[in-house]
Amino acid sequence: MKLITLLILSIVTLNATNHIHSSKIQKLANSLNLFAGTKASVQWERIFSTERRLKRYSLSHLPQDLRDQLKNYLISHAADSDRPIIPGL
């Protein structure tokens, strides 16, 4: 019984941590005027594909790991994804 309780608490804690982290990435995206639901995933892929596009969207100054997290967030919530985020909803 203790093992099940510990497992449930671990899952809840992990979900809360992921939500907080996702919220920080969403705030970063919003501060850069990048809204996931405004583009399809292939468009987000294209934006992160070249240095020229990174500069155009003011992303070149971000550390690579943060850019990767932002890219994953934008693609996972793109207009054509299973979990799109539509601005204003």
pTM here? 0.70
Query: What is the per-residue pLDDT across 27-45, written as a single tens digit (0 to 9) for each?
Result: 999 999 999 989 999 999 9
Backbone angles phi, psi at 86, to 5 degrees: -100, 125
pLDDT over threshold 90, residue 12 = no
